[in-house]
Amino acid sequence: MTKVFSVLAALAAFVLAPVHAAEADGKAVFQKNCAACHMATGKGIPGAFPALAGNKFVQGPEKDPATVLLKGRGGMPDFSQSLNDADIAAVLTYVRGAWGNKAGALTEQQVAAVRTEVQAEKFTAGQMANKH
């Protein structure tokens, strides 16, 4: 019985590892690029930076928050040149599922399609790319 449990535990860890890795990556991208304004709690700063926790826009159609990250909006800068499509998908997946939010994940391919549709700048991996 112990052997069966060990095998099942190992299998579960293997199957769940990519999910946890993606969540960790999205959280790391959030901490580095978003938390200064939107706070680590996702509660934002009232009157200055909107809360992401419980935000209907964030939890709405995937294209909408992806467009904001790619094109910017209001006082929020665009991240089109400083984050690649995988990073944008990871951070949006994290935000859409953190702090009680219950929206679906985004894929790198979905973000790439939005990038093309909204004609956002292409990601540049050079040192000067991170303008934030």
Residue 125: pLDDT band with limits 50, 70, 90: confident
Residue range 62-115, pLDDT digits in tens:
999 999 999 999 999 999 999 999 999 999 999 999 999 999 999 999 999 999
Domain residue extents for the chain: 18-129
Q: Read off the pTM.
A: 0.78
Fold entry, domain 18-129: Cytochrome Bc1 Complex; Chain D, domain 2 (1.10.760)
pLDDT tens for residues 10-38? 433 333 334 444 555 999 999 999 999 99
Percent of the chain at pLDDT > 90 equals: 73
The angle that helices 108-117 and 85-97 make with each other, rounded to 10 degrees, is 110
| Angstrom distance (rounded) from CA 81 to CA 97 | 25
Phi (first) and psi of residue 49, to 5 degrees: -130, 125
- What's the token pair of residue 5? 């449990």
Can you tell me the distance from the alpha carbon of 128 to that of 73, in angstroms, rounded to the nearest whole number? 22
Distance of CA 91 to the CA centre of its chain: 1
